[in-house]
């Protein structure tokens, strides 16, 4: 006891020998450099964009053997990683076989999600996932619980491979019978399969997909691949696990499937009505072609980007309908962009509850937390801000109409890839703006906000409540 007191006395008598506390600036720097899932996602995506930009800048990536301009190589890399499909150079004629292969790899990695791909590699080597990896993968795949991450990863790998293989098997013989060589048919079938399921929308043929207008052997496999890819892997996981018991599906799966189905039916009907008499699109086509082409067009704004109808010849009303669908986008955790289907559904349910005077938002026998509704409103406001800011900048930079620029920005933000044909004619600054829209649309405004936030503030004192007048 005496020895302990003596040691304590000596420590108090020699304060200079104690380890000094770290300065405040060092603590602040440590907090800034703390890696979060959102920041890691941004960093990995940015590094992969830089890598594929370098690969597409190689002379071997072009048919002419000359280097692609940096802005065009970067734009294409962003479009491929963000699975969008907007291009500033003609995909089929500008890029060589090596360049198209690079695009396929970029689309596949962008569709799977780079963090998901890293976790899959980790599972194959270590046969397990650590807690940190589970948290980061849950952020990327939108798994509802950490215990589901392993299942989500397996479903991602199996489902993506199965649907891409099925699409490849469906398209390759058809390509061969339409006067393509064996090697070319295999390459086109693989390219279309990857581009369709990952909702990328890149087209490897110079004639585009307008040549397949009303062709069921092309339209149906592509539309199915795009539709499944836009649902989101968490939904696919639930459906695969509980296929025979729909009542046990999660609320997210029910909400996504119901809202997607309603939007698809409304879009199909809308395209038919608005383009039925348009001589430039469906006006002169037989009824079965109109039905198939309208259905194909209704699926593509989810995030597909393939167009058998010339977008520039659509009626203004049809383009407005497409604008709305592109802004909504596809399912959470999918390869699509936009505000996501569940966000739109929650906002509509919130409005309906307010109209009916219900204090809570309820659906499928469940009550939605107020925090979730507030998050949906935040996603809507931030997304609208990004879109309006991009349109404003492009209006200052170009002479294109508001209709054209709004369509282009929404296509980029929704990672859709549809275009009225102005992408290649944008100035360099305009291409940077569209690339930023694709980047933010793929990662999500909320992910960007969380990644850039330096710290989280917790308020210990709350101010008095007072309600202002609304409306």
Asked if the structure places residue 389 within a domain, the reply is yes
Tell me the C-alpha distance between 277 and 354, whole Å.
40
pLDDT of amino acid 178:
85
How large is the average pLDDT for residues 63-82? 93
Tell me what the mean pLDDT of segment 321-345 comes to.
88
Tens digit of each residue's pLDDT (9 = 90 or more) over 2-18? 455 555 555 554 444 44
Does some domain include residue 457?
A: no
> Over pLDDT 70: what percentage of the chain?
79
* Among 117-121, 198-202, 232-236, 388-392, the least confident range: 117-121
Residue 305 has pLDDT above 60, yes or no: yes
End-to-end Cα, the chain, rounded Å: 74
| Nearest partner of 219 among 192, 254, 256, judged by Cα | 192
Residue 228 inside a domain? The answer is yes
Cα(303)–Cα(123) distance, integer angstroms: 30
Q: What is the mean pLDDT of residues 101-117?
A: 82
> Higher-confidence residue: 211 or 28?
211
Of residues 232 and 18, more confidently modeled: 232
Q: Is residue 5 assigned to a domain?
A: no
Helix axes 149-177, 216-231, angle to 10 degrees: 170
How far lies 247's CA from each of 257, 341, 365, in Å? 13, 20, 11
In a domain, 468, yes or no: no
Domain count, the chain: 1
Q: Quote the pLDDT of residue 240.
A: 79
For residue 19, is it within any domain? Answer: no
**Is pLDDT of 286 > 90?**
yes
**Domain assignment present for 279:** yes
Full domain range(s) for residue 192:
34-452
- The per-residue pLDDT for 462 is 75
Q: Is 7 exposed, middle or buried (0-12, 13-18, 19+ CB in 10 A)?
A: exposed
DSSP one-letter code for 312: G
What is the Cα–Cα distance from 453 to 451, expressed in whole angstroms?
Answer: 6
Question: Please, are residues 142 and 229 in contact by the beta-carbon 8 Å criterion?
Answer: no
> What pLDDT score does 431 carry?
95
Does residue 26 belong to any structural domain of this protein?
no
Specify the 3-state DSSP secondary structure of 361: strand
């Amino acid at each position: 006891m005496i020895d302990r007191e003596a040691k304590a006395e000596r420590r108090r008598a020699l304060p200079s020998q104690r380890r000094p506390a770290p300065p405040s600036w060092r603590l602040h720097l440590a907090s800034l450099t703390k890696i979060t899932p959102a920041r890691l996602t941004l960093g990995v995506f940015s590094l992969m964009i830089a890598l594929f930009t370098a690969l597409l800048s190689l002379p071997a990536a072009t048919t002419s053997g000359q280097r692609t301009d940096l802005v065009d190589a970067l734009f294409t890399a962003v479009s491929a990683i963000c699975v969008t499909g907007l291009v500033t150079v003609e995909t089929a004629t500008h890029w060589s076989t090596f360049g198209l292969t690079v695009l396929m790899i970029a689309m596949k990695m962008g569709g799977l999600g780079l963090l998901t791909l890293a976790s899959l590699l980790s599972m194959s080597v270590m046969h397990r996932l650590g807690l940190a990896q589970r948290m980061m993968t849950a952020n990327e795949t939108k798994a509802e619980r950490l215990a589901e991450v392993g299942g989500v990863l397996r479903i991602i790998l199996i489902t993506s491979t199965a649907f891409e293989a099925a699409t490849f098997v469906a398209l390759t013989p058809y390509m061969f019978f339409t006067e393509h060589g064996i090697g070319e048919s295999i390459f086109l079938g693989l390219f279309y399969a990857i581009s369709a399921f990952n909702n990328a929308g890149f087209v490897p043929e110079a004639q585009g997909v307008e040549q397949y207008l009303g062709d069921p052997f092309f339209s149906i496999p592509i539309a199915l691949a795009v539709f499944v890819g836009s649902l989101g892997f968490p939904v696919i996981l639930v459906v695969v696990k509980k296929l025979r018991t729909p009542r046990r599906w999660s609320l997210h799966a029910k909400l996504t499937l119901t809202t997607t189905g309603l939007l698809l039916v409304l879009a199909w009907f809308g395209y038919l009505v608005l383009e039925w008499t348009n001589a430039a699109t469906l006006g002169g086509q037989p009824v079965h072609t109109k039905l198939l082409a309208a259905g194909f067009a209704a699926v593509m704004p989810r995030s597909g980007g393939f167009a058998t109808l010339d977008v520039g010849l659509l009626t203004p009303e049809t383009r407005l309908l497409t604008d709305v669908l592109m802004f909504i986008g596809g399912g959470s955790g999918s390869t699509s962009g936009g505000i996501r289907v569940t966000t739109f559904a929650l906002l509509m349910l919130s409005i309906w509850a307010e109209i009916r005077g219900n204090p809570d938002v309820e659906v499928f026998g469940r009550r939605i937390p107020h925090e979730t509704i507030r998050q949906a409103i935040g996603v809507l406001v931030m997304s609208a801000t990004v879109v309006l800011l991009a349109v404003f900048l492009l209006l200052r930079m170009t002479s294109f109409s508001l209709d054209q620029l709004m369509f282009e920005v929404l296509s980029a933000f929704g990672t859709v890839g549809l275009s009225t044909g102005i992408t290649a004619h944008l100035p360099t600054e305009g291409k940077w703006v569209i690339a930023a829209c694709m980047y933010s649309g793929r990662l999500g405004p909320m992910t960007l906000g969380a990644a850039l936030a330096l710290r989280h503030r917790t308020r210990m004192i709350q101010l008095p409540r007072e309600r202002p007048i609304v409306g």
